[in-house]
A and B are shown apart, each in its own frame.
Chain A
Amino acid sequence: QITLRESGPTLVKPTQTLTLTCSCSGFSLTSSGVGVGWIRQPPGKALEWLGLIYWDDDKRYNSSLRSRLTITKDTSRDQVVLTLTNVAPVDTATYYCAHRGMGDAFDVWGQGTLVAVSS
């Protein structure tokens, strides 16, 4: 059974760096075809795709966040890490990680973690 769980701070101050961890189980981050993505959703608003990391360490990023966003993986810990620098109140959102399935869609999602950016 594939599961993902996000963890990290619930409150971050403006200009700081946000680091979130996605702990994965039920699959290997190095298996061919595997991908883990990050998606966020500001309160009451739409989903926003942030980026994706593949089994071979290839990465894709949302062009509007590319300068601030980094996604890495730690295969020894089965974790995928999102780093977002210089955060602002507009980055307040629920952040989700999700497993990329065979059909290229996100077939399994974490429960999400709400992060507020405020001084």
Chain B
Amino acid sequence: DIQLTQSPSSLAASVGDSVTITCRASQTVSVYLHWYQQKPGRAPKLLIFAATTLEPGVPSRFSATGSGTYFTLSIRSLQPEDFASYFCQQTYSASSFGQGTQVEMK
């Protein structure tokens, strides 16, 4: 089974900051890596699919890079609505999720 490790587990930032979250896979997942945002009490929302493709309707301040085993999600100029948890998911072999990164307000 493919394990996904996200870092950091949590981070504190201010409105206007830029942040980067990483997701490492235990073996290659090619570009079958996706990113979700989740707010408390809500279902996850797809942000990025296929490693780098922005889901329609998602603000362009979100961007992502990576392939193989190393991936990043970046948020440029954090907005109040961006404080949430973020999860990566691989669909290369069956599927699995990372443990999540909580972005908190400093």
Contact = CB atoms under 8 A, between A and B. Distances in A.
Interface of A: 37, 39, 46-49, 52, 60-64, 96, 98, 101, 103-107, 109-112
A49 B3 CA distance: 12
B46 A60 contact: no
Interface stretch (B18-26, B65-73, B75-83, B94-102): B94-102
B94 A103 contact: no
B67 to A, nearest CB: 14
Contacts of B44: 39, 47, 96, 106, 109
Given A49-B95, A49-B97, A107 B43 contact: no
Contacts of B55: 105, 107
B43 A112 contact: yes
A103 B34 CA distance: 9
Interface of B: 1, 32, 34, 36, 38, 43-46, 49-50, 53, 55, 87, 89, 91, 94-100
Contact of B94 (A47, A48, A49, A96): A49
A51 to B, nearest CB: 8
Nearest to B51: A103
Contacts of A48: 97
Contacts of B32: 104
Contacts of B95: 37, 49, 52, 60
Nearest to A100: B91
Contacts of B34: 103-106
A60 B92 CA distance: 12
B94 A62 contact: yes
A107 B100 contact: no
Interface-central residue, A49, A101, A105, A112, by most chain B CB under 10 Å: A105
A106 B46 contact: yes
Contacts of A106: 34, 36, 44, 46, 89
Given A63-B1, A112-B43, A103 B50 contact: yes
A46 B94 contact: no
Contacts of B99: 46
Contacts of B53: 103
A109 B94 contact: no
